[in-house]
């Protein structure tokens, strides 16, 4: 099967093509290019795809094409199941935009927390139903929703529906649809429970899979800041002042923190709204509409509440709290950098433990997360001044009204200079943006003990691998909280190297160097104990006068005990 590279190649109905062009879509995403032809041809499909890859359009286009607007116009022909009401609403909205110029298509969304009577009235003329499994089941029990004529069933984010406890509802709904229906399933992961559903309810499904890393990481520049715990909110406000995002999301781990932070931001003049599970459905819908259409530009949310949010123009994501696991981190930053656009994520860390946790997430995901400084007030004002100067520059290239030229001439006749006139005009036009937040200047901590004690660590790589001191320093400082000035004497031998680090950081360095590479080669690292080494050296010299001359004088022959460090990575290789 040839992969389509433009929507024109799909030979869509002119009305659909017009709507797609109006929506700004020119080139299909990878999931769209592969899935649309398969679904069009009637195949059952498994789409393994992350949020933000354009999967809604991947099933919406062929779904709309399958609708018979003739004698079956008042029966449900396409059923789309979603894990959350937000995702159901967004999917319905997307289909409405897609069918803007098409007649006879009636999508209806059904979900809990909304008026049942209004949904019943709308279902009487629906031919596409988008809903959560629980509310779909409610309508089936009331006989206000019949599935006898369903041609296509779509399970969107199936793994999320299973994790939310909808397994039995999903199976019941599928069994109520015709046996010859087409079934399309989209899921970010493929656990055994998903495979069980595909085996029972799909026939010879075709797998469409896109590169997970490419979707979640490649288009997103990832940063973190390290600030004192008591100044996390100040740091966030300074960054909001500096970046001035048109749309931004801020993630917190608890509903209480979401409420407190959003209220604090509003008091500081930011246009922020809270989103979490305790809000009523009407409140959630209002908040999402305001964010989606730009009347609110900052959304503070919990991980669960943000499931299914599909807004393509989020410029930046802030992790106010360190995410509880890697999956949450991927989901959070995946709110930006969507559909080929660039995005930015910044995680706010406080202290060494949180920085280590952030680095561990990045290492597990094999992504690059760099530290940046929190902008200062001077940085903010400089950026504002640059933007204002650009505004004036643009105005100078346009036509200037005669009345303003007359004003300048009058002021010149009154003895004022052009310089003073321009400065006064700029001051009047551009109001000063005072943050009233003191700068956050990161102090470079030194991790040496108060008595300056050092411990030595051994890495099993040396001159034979062309290792130089700068290679060792770079690897250690990249993975630990140490700086180059914290590291002491470095001894490099043929097959190993010895590095002196502050004693109170030695265990941390060993932990953080797990899986490290130096000069492209994996290395193992361990401590040595000077007293034991001298005993071993004396014993060695009495038994063997031909010991290798390049053996370091103070290398320990015994690996660190499991009590000292339980990790299997500590080498037991003899020094």
Q: Which residues 6+ apart lie within 8 Å of 31 measured at CB? A: 47, 49, 53, 54, 55, 58, 208, 210
β-pairing verdict for 206-209 and 490-492: unpaired
**CA-CA distances (angstroms) from residue 53 to 20, 36, 353, 544, 562?**
16, 14, 34, 66, 46
Helices (H), 435-492: 469-479
The most confident of the ranges 344-348, 488-492, 548-552 is: 344-348
Query: Does residue 484 contact residue 471 with C-beta atoms inside 8 Å?
Result: no
Provide the pLDDT for residue 187: 87
Is the pLDDT at 289 greater than 70? The verdict is yes
Provide the pLDDT for residue 98: 92
Provide the pLDDT for residue 499: 93
What is the rounded CA–CA span in Å between residue 61 and residue 31?
A: 13
CA torsion angle 261 263 266 267 (round to 10): -110
Query: Does residue 197 contact residue 170 with C-beta atoms inside 8 Å?
Result: yes
351-405 pLDDT, tens per residue?
877 888 888 888 777 788 999 999 998 888 888 888 888 888 888 888 888 888 8
332-343 pLDDT, tens per residue?
888 888 766 789
Which has the minimum average pLDDT: 24-33, 64-73, 305-314? Answer: 305-314
Domain boundaries, the chain: 7-210, 214-375, 389-429, 447-575
Same fold, 7-210 and 214-375: yes
Q: For 104, left (φ over 0), alpha (ψ -120 to 50), or beta?
A: left
Predicted confidence band of residue 96 (pLDDT cuts 50, 70, 90): very high
What is the rounded CA–CA span in Å between residue 482 and residue 326?
A: 25
Classify burial at 469, counting beta carbons within 10 Å of its beta carbon; exposed 0-12, middle 13-18, buried 19 or more: middle
What is the rounded CA–CA span in Å between residue 447 and residue 481?
A: 8
Closest CA to 270 of 297, 251, 242, 232: 297
What is the rounded CA–CA span in Å between residue 338 and residue 348?
A: 22
154-176 pLDDT, tens per residue?
999 898 898 888 999 999 999 99
What is the rounded CA–CA span in Å between residue 507 and residue 500?
A: 12
What is the rounded CA–CA span in Å between residue 78 and residue 162?
A: 21
34-80 pLDDT, tens per residue?
899 999 999 999 998 766 667 888 999 999 999 988 755 569 999 99
Q: Which CATH number applies to 447-575?
A: 3.30.70.330
Is the pLDDT at 2 greater than 90? The verdict is no
Query: Does residue 155 contact residue 169 with C-beta atoms inside 8 Å?
Result: no
User: What size, in residues, is the chain?
Assistant: 575
275-285 pLDDT, tens per residue?
987 888 788 88
434-454 pLDDT, tens per residue?
667 888 876 554 444 435 788
Predicted confidence band of residue 556 (pLDDT cuts 50, 70, 90): very low
Mean pLDDT of 12-18: 88
What is the rounded CA–CA span in Å between residue 175 and residue 477?
A: 58
Find the helix packing angle between 402-413 and 418-429, rounded to 10°: 130
**Mean residue pLDDT across the chain:** 82
Find the helix packing angle between 167-175 and 192-201, rounded to 10°: 10
Backbone angles phi, psi at 456, to 5 degrees: -105, 145
Classify burial at 428, counting beta carbons within 10 Å of its beta carbon; exposed 0-12, middle 13-18, buried 19 or more: exposed
Q: What is the DSSP letter of 216?
A: I
Helices (H), 480-529: 506-512
Q: Match domain 7-210 to its CATH number in 3.20.20.140, 3.40.50.300, 3.30.200.20, 1.20.1090.10.
A: 3.40.50.300
Helices (H), 8-54: 14-22, 30-40
Q: Which residues 6+ apart lie within 8 Å of 292 measured at CB? A: 311
Provide the pLDDT for residue 262: 95
Q: Match domain 214-375 to its CATH number in 2.40.50.140, 3.40.50.300, 3.40.50.970, 3.40.605.10.
A: 3.40.50.300
Query: Does residue 101 contact residue 15 with C-beta atoms inside 8 Å?
Result: yes
Provide the pLDDT for residue 285: 81
Predicted confidence band of residue 555 (pLDDT cuts 50, 70, 90): very low
What DSSP assignment string belongs to 115-182?
A: -HHHHHHHHTT-SEEEE-HHHHHHHHHHTS---TT--EEEETTHHHHHHTT-HHHHHHHHHTS-TT-E
Q: What is the DSSP letter of 214?
A: I
HSE toward the beta carbon, residue 556, CA cutoff 13 A? 20
């Amino acid at each position: 099967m040839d992969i389509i590279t433009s929507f024109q190649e799909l030979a869509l109905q002119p009305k659909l093509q017009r709507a797609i062009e109006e929506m700004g879509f020119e080139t299909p995403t990878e999931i769209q290019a592969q899935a649309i032809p398969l679904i069009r041809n009637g195949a059952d499909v498994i789409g393994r795809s992350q949020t933000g890859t354009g999967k809604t359009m991947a099933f919406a286009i062929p779904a709309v094409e399958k609708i018979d607007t003739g004698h079956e116009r008042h029966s449900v022909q396409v059923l789309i199941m979603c894990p959350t009401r937000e995702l159901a609403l967004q999917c319905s909205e997307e289909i409405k935009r897609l069918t803007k110029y098409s007649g006879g298509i009636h999508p209806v969304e059904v979900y809990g927390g909304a008026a049942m009577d209004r949904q019943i009235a709308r279902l009487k003329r629906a031919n596409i139903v988008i809903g959560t499994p629980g509310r779909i089941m409610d309508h089936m029990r009331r006989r206000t929703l019949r599935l006898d004529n369903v041609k296509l069933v779509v399970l969107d984010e199936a793994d999320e529906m299973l994790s939310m406890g909808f397994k039995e509802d999903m199976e019941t709904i599928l069994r109520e649809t015709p046996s010859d229906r087409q079934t399309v399933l989209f899921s970010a992961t493929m656990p055994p429970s998903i495979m069980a559903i595909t085996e029972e309810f799909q026939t010879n499904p075709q797998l469409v899979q896109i590169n997970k890393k490419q979707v979640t990481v490649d288009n997103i520049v990832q940063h973190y800041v390290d600030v004192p715990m008591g100044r996390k909110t100040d740091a966030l406000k300074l960054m909001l002042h500096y970046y001035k995002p048109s749309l931004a999301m801020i993630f917190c781990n608890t509903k209480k923190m979401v409420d407190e932070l959003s209220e604090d931001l509003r008091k500081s003049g930011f246009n922020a709204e809270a989103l979490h599970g305790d809000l009523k459905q009407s409140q959630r819908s209002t908040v999402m509409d305001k964010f989606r259409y730009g009347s609110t530009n900052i959304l503070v949310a919990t991980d669960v509440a943000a499931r299914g949010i599909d807004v393509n123009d989020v410029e930046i994501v802030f992790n106010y709290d360190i995410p509880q696991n890697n999956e949450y981190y991927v989901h959070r930053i995946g709110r930006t950098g969507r559909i080929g656009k660039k995005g930015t994520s910044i995680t706010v860390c406080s202290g060494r433990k949180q920085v280590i946790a952030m680095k561990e997430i990045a290492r597990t995901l094999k992504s690059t997360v760099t530290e940046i400084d929190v902008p200062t007030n001077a940085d903010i004002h400089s950026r504002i001044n640059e933007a204002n100067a650009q505004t004036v520059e643009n105005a100078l290239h346009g036509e200037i009204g005669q009345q303003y030229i007359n004003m300048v001439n009058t002021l010149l006749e009154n003895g004022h200079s052009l310089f003073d006139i321009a400065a006064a005009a700029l001051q009047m036009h551009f109001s000063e943006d005072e943050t009233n937040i003191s700068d956050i200047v990161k102090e470079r901590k030194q991790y040496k003990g108060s008595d300056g004690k050092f411990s030595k660590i051994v890495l099993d790589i040396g001159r034979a691998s062309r290792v130089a001191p700068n290679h060792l320093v770079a690897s250690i400082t990249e993975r630990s909280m140490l700086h180059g000035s914290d590291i002491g004497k470095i001894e490099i031998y043929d097959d190993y190297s010895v590095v002196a680090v502050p004693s109170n950081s030695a265990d941390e360095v060993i932990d953080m160097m797990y899986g490290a590479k130096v000069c492209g080669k994996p290395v193992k690292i361990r401590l040595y104990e000077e007293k034991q080494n001298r005993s071993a050296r004396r014993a060695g010299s009495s038994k063997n006068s031909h010991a290798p001359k390049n053996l370091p004088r103070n290398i320990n022959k015994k690996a660190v005990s499991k009590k000292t460090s339980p990790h299997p990575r500590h080498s037991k290789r003899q020094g």
